[in-house]
């Protein structure tokens, strides 16, 4: 196995059929075949599909806040890969411990992003600062400030946030 957790055809060839099936099960892959060669081909296909899905999910969900329930549907390998993709350092010897560590890292990152977003002295957020936050973080920040925002995209949420911020500034006599 290389450092990415990826198995090559040569590495799988050195294993027995039972070891290949066990490895597939451990990684959450569904494989089939009656010969070792078929099992290896099936394993490599499942591995490739899983990696492509992981990359697509990471790209699509970079702004997503993961729940405990969502993480519980993933394999240990998938949780570790997602954490690495998101830049989280997680620890744990069990799936439950990894999930707890992941959720803690996610919350810590969101709080750091929110507190670091407003770097100017006006107390107001601009589109660039909000753009650096995830959708979940924008919603959390808006709620903490008492803003009601709406939108189906990140851009919509930022526009709604800025409008709510401007309205709050006018109501408080700020400018």
Domain stop point among 117, 142, 161: 117
CA nearest to 93, candidates 76, 117, 116: 76
Query: What is the model's pLDDT at position 60?
Result: 53
Q: Are both 131 and 158 inside the same structural domain?
A: yes
The token pair that represents 9 in the structure block: 């055809």
Distance CA 75, CA 158 (A): 34
Domain stop point among 58, 75, 104: 58
Q: Are both 156 and 106 inside the same structural domain?
A: no
Q: Are both 50 and 74 inside the same structural domain?
A: no
What is the domain count for the chain? Answer: 3
CA nearest to 55, candidates 6, 107, 119, 15: 6
Domain stop point among 72, 87, 117: 117
pLDDT averaged over consecutive 10-residue blocks of the chain (175 residues)? 74 94 90 94 89 65 78 92 87 93 87 68 78 86 90 90 88 60
HSE-up of residue 36 (Cα within 13 Å, Cβ side): 11
Q: Are both 76 and 100 inside the same structural domain?
A: yes
The token pair that represents 116 in the structure block: 């670091």
Q: Are both 112 and 161 inside the same structural domain?
A: no
The token pair that represents 107 in the structure block: 């919350």
Q: Are both 105 and 147 inside the same structural domain?
A: no
Query: What is the model's pLDDT at position 96?
Result: 94
Query: What is the model's pLDDT at position 161?
Result: 92
Q: Are both 112 and 125 inside the same structural domain?
A: no
Query: What is the model's pLDDT at position 113?
Result: 73
Q: Which domain holds residue 93?
A: 61-117
Query: What is the model's pLDDT at position 10?
Result: 93
């Amino acid at each position: 196995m290389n450092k990415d957790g990826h198995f090559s055809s040569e590495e799988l060839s050195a294993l027995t059929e039972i070891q290949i099936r066990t490895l597939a099960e451990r990684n959450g892959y569904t494989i089939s075949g009656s010969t070792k060669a078929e099992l290896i081909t099936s394993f490599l296909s499942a591995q490739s599909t899983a990696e492509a899905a992981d990359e697509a999910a990471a790209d699509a969900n970079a702004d997503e806040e993961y729940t405990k329930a969502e993480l519980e549907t993933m394999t240990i390998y998938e949780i570790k890969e997602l954490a690495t993709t998101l830049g989280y350092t997680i620890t744990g010897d069990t799936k439950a411990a990894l999930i707890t560590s992941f959720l803690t890292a996610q919350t810590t990152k969101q709080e750091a992003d929110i507190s670091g977003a407003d770097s100017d002295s006006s107390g107001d957020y601009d589109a660039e600062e909000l753009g650096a936050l995830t959708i979940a973080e924008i919603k959390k920040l808006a709620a903490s400030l008492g803003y009601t925002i709406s939108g189906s995209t990140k851009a919509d949420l930022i526009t709604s946030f800025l409008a709510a911020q401007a309205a709050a500034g006018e109501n408080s006599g700020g400018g």
